[in-house]
C-alpha cells in the first residue's frame, strides 16, 4: 500500500510540474470559478500575479512609437534582457550591420555541446502606455543559421499583457518570424501566429515584419487588453530542446523596431 501511495504522489508532482512549465490548462472547480469571478483586475502597470521582475517605463504619448532608442543608435539605452532567467543570454549592440543608422542589436545564439537545452537571446522593453499598442514592426537580419541537430531554433516576437481580464496570469501573443514550421509549445496563456512558416530562414538580407497586435488579440483571445495595461515586449532568437552533444551557431540582428500606434 505504501508503494502505491508513493507512486501516486510522484505522478501528481510530475503533472503539476508539466502544468507549470508549459502552461497547460485544466478545468476549474466551482470554488475556483467563484474566486476568479470575485478577483478584481490588477491596477495599471502591475502583473495580475505581481511579477516581481516587471518594472515598466511609463509612456505619456497616445500615438507614435512607444519604444525608447528603437534603432539602437544610443547603444543599450532603454533595452534589457531577462537576466533573472537562467535560460537567457545577453545581447550586444554592434556596428556594420544596421538597417538604418550605424547600430543594430546582435543576438549571438550559440550553444555548445554541454550547454543547456534551452537558450534565449533577445532585447526587451516593459511599458505602460495610455493606450495599448496596436502594432509591432521592425526588421531582422539572419547573418548565420547553423542549428545543427536542433529542430526548435527560431526567431520570434512576444508581447505579454500583464493585466488580462479573466483567470490567466498573462495574455501572450507569440509571433514566429522564422525558423520553425510547427508551434513550439502548447501554452494556455499564449497564442501563436506564424509570419513565416519555414525551417530555414533567408540569410543575408534585412526582412521587414509588421504585426497587427490589436487584431490578433481580438481574433485569438476574443478581447483586447484594456488601455493602461502593462506589457512586456520581447524580440528574440532562441533554441529549445537541444539534444545533448548538439551545437548551435545562429546570428540574428534586429533594427528599426516599433511598438505603438501608427
DSSP character string of 20-33 = HHH----PPPHHHH
pLDDT tens readout for residues 102-138: 999 999 999 999 999 999 999 999 999 999 999 999 9
Which residue segment(s) compose the domain that 93 sits in? Answer: 40-261
- Given a cut of 80, whether residue 159 has pLDDT beyond it is yes
Domain membership flag for residue 88: yes
* SS3 state at 11: helix
CA gap 217, 171 in Å, rounded: 9
- Please report the pLDDT score of residue 54 as a whole number: 94
CA gap 126, 79 in Å, rounded: 9
Domain membership flag for residue 31: no
Contact between 252 and 127 (Cβ < 8 Å): no
CATH number at residue 213: 2.60.120.260
Which pLDDT band, with edges at 50, 70 and 90, does 165 fall under?
A: low
DSSP E strands, 66-166: 88-89, 92-95, 103-111, 119-128, 135-146, 152-161
pTM of the shown model? 0.82
pLDDT tens readout for residues 61-88: 999 999 999 999 999 999 999 999 999 9
Average pLDDT, stretch 177-193? 97
Cβ partners under 8 Å of residue 177, min gap 6: 140, 154, 155, 156, 157, 195, 196, 207, 209
- Given a cut of 50, whether residue 27 has pLDDT beyond it is no
Domain membership flag for residue 211: yes
Angle at 32 between CA 34 and CA 27, to 5 degrees: 125
CA gap 236, 194 in Å, rounded: 14
- Please report the pLDDT score of residue 190 as a whole number: 97
Domain membership flag for residue 12: no
Domain membership flag for residue 224: yes
Domain membership flag for residue 197: yes
Structurally, the chain folds into a number of domains equal to 1
Domain membership flag for residue 199: yes
- Please report the pLDDT score of residue 51 as a whole number: 79
Amino acid at each position: 500500500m505504501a508503494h502505491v501511495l508513493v507512486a501516486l504522489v510522484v505522478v501528481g508532482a510530475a503533472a503539476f510540474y508539466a502544468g507549470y512549465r508549459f502552461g497547460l490548462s485544466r478545468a476549474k472547480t466551482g470554488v475556483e470559478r467563484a474566486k476568479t469571478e470575485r478577483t478584481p483586475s490588477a491596477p495599471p502597470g502591475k502583473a495580475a500575479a505581481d511579477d516581481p521582475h516587471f518594472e515598466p517605463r511609463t509612456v505619456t504619448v497616445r500615438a507614435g512609437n512607444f519604444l525608447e532608442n528603437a534603432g539602437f543608435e544610443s547603444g543599450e539605452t532603454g533595452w534589457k534582457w531577462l537576466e533573472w532567467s537562467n535560460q537567457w543570454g545577453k545581447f550586444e549592440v554592434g556596428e556594420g550591420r544596421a538597417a538604418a543608422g550605424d547600430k543594430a542589436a546582435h543576438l549571438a545564439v550559440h550553444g555548445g555541446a554541454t550547454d543547456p537545452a534551452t537558450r534565449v537571446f533577445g532585447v526587451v522593453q516593459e511599458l505602460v502606455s495610455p493606450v495599448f499598442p496596436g502594432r509591432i514592426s521592425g526588421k531582422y537580419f539572419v547573418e548565420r543559421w547553423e542549428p545543427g541537430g536542433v529542430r526548435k531554433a527560431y526567431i520570434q516576437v512576444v508581447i505579454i499583457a500583464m493585466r488580462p481580464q479573466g483567470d490567466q496570469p498573462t495574455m501572450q501573443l507569440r509571433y514566429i518570424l522564422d525558423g520553425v514550421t510547427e508551434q513550439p509549445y502548447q501554452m494556455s496563456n499564449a497564442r501563436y501566429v506564424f509570419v513565416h512558416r519555414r525551417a530555414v530562414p533567408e540569410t543575408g538580407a534585412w526582412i521587414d515584419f509588421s504585426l497587427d497586435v490589436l487584431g490578433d488579440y481580438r481574433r485569438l483571445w476574443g478581447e483586447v487588453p484594456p488601455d493602461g495595461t502593462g506589457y512586456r515586449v520581447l524580440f528574440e532568437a532562441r533554441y529549445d530542446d537541444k539534444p545533448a552533444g548538439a551545437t548551435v551557431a545562429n546570428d540574428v540582428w534586429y533594427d528599426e523596431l516599433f511598438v505603438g500606434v501608427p
